[in-house]
């Protein structure tokens, strides 16, 4: 890969966006973190802050990169434009303006016309390409259980692991971004007028990376092999994607054993089983009622986990500070482990209710 003279400045800008934890600097990165950073810049085009924020917990950095690479980035059956449209539509559904800005910029770099603008403004009827319009609607509507059930897959069965995988990855990443990154892909204090320039640069770099060959499965050895959980069965049609999610799920669960109190580990999955995907609103009565059943010492962790999973845009400094107060040493690592587990739990739940490929009418 030819050295990009902008690379050092882009790295600094990327890491400066991360809030509430201190990401590993590129110059001091070693072993697993260093390898993921290199692969990210090579295959994705940039050091992506939504992934770099995981670097205090290297196994979770690798998990995030593996699942993003194998679904969105690696060569496969579905085109990159459709996958970027799905990522943008999910991000819109999750009120994640950061990810909408980044991925509509990539759509704009890959597809002629005004498709990116239509997606960003939730005007899906204005998407000219029939296939991209159907993918956008499917991805956005899949965030809610009953509307997901009403949609058949608007693509051939062999594309399902990639496109369902993209939606699951972005239901996860949107939640992490809402907690740890600003609303736009620029460091705090940067003038908003600079956003179009930043979006153009990001779109150009990601488009160039998208054009280079990226064989599936070449990053699998970042994490140990594991069995695919039943709720991720939609990934089974692609060995590379199934392997990535199996490895990632194991890493997330191992992190949870370090950071998540047993009472919280029981509460959140139970609530997710009864959740329909709809936003819970600004009133936090639901949150107070849910954590009231936890032991007092576990309530800060429970409050944070439930917000990340069910209303990530409401996660505030007060909630994080309350958790940190009892987290002790290594608070950045345990904060990432807890929030990653909560976000991934919600994303897995959403993925489990998307109708599988055998209901697709596409041929």
Q: Which is catalytic among the residues 93, 99, 110, 252?
A: 99
pLDDT (0 to 100) of residue 114:
84
Q: What is the pLDDT of residues 207-254, one digit of tens each?
A: 787 788 889 999 999 999 999 999 999 999 999 999 999 999 999 999
Q: What is the pLDDT of residues 40-73, one digit of tens each?
A: 999 988 899 999 999 999 999 999 999 999 999 9
Is residue 96 among the annotated active site residues?
Answer: no
Q: What is the pLDDT of residues 276-297, one digit of tens each?
A: 999 887 789 999 999 999 999 9
Counting residues of the chain whose pLDDT is more than 90, the rounded percentage is 70
Q: What is the pLDDT of residues 118-167, one digit of tens each?
A: 888 889 999 999 999 999 999 999 999 999 888 889 999 999 999 999 99
* Average pLDDT of every residue of the chain: 90
**pLDDT confidence tier of residue 33, bands split at 50, 70 and 90:** very high
Half-sphere exposure of 307 (CA within 13 A, CB side): 23
pTM of the model as a whole: 0.93
Q: What is the pLDDT of residues 323-359, one digit of tens each?
A: 998 876 669 999 999 999 999 999 999 999 988 744 4
């Amino acid at each position: 890969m030819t050295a990009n003279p902008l690379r050092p400045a882009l790295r600094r800008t990327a890491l400066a966006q991360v809030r509430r934890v201190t990401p590993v600097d590129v110059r001091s990165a070693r072993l697993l973190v260093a390898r993921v950073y290199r692969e990210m810049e090579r295959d994705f085009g940039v050091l992506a802050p939504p992934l770099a924020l995981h670097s205090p917990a290297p196994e979770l950095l690798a998990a995030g990169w593996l699942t993003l690479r194998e679904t969105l980035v690696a060569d496969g059956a579905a085109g990159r434009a459709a996958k970027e449209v799905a990522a943008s539509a999910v991000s819109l559904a999750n009120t994640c303006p950061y990810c909408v800005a980044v991925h509509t910029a990539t759509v704009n770099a890959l597809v002629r016309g005004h498709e990116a603008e239509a997606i960003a403004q939730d005007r899906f009827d204005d998407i000219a390409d029939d296939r991209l319009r159907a993918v956008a609607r499917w991805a956005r509507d899949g965030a809610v259980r009953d509307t997901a059930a009403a949609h058949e897959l608007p693509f051939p069965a062999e594309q399902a692991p990639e496109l369902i995988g993209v939606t699951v990855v972005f239901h996860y990443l949107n939640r992490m971004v809402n907690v740890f990154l600003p609303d736009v892909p620029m460091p705090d204090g940067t003038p908003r007028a600079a956003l179009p320039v930043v979006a153009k640069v990001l779109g150009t770099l990601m488009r160039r990376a998208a054009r280079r060959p990226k064989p599936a499965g070449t990053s699998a050895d970042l994490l140990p092999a594991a069995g695919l959980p039943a709720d991720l069965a939609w990934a089974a049609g692609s060995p590379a994607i199934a392997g990535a999610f199996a490895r990632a799920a194991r890493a997330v669960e191992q992190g949870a054993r370090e950071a998540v109190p047993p009472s919280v580990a029981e509460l959140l999955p139970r609530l997710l089983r009864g959740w329909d995907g709809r936003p819970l609103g600004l009133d936090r009565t639901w949150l107070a009622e849910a954590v009231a059943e936890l032991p007092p010492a576990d309530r800060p962790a429970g409050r944070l986990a439930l917000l990340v999973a069910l209303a990530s845009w409401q996660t505030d400094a007060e909630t994080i500070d309350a958790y940190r107060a009892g987290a002790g040493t290594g608070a950045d690592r345990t904060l990432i482990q807890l929030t990653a587990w909560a976000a991934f739990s919600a994303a897995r739940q959403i993925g489990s209710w998307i109708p599988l490929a055998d209901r697709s009418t596409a041929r």
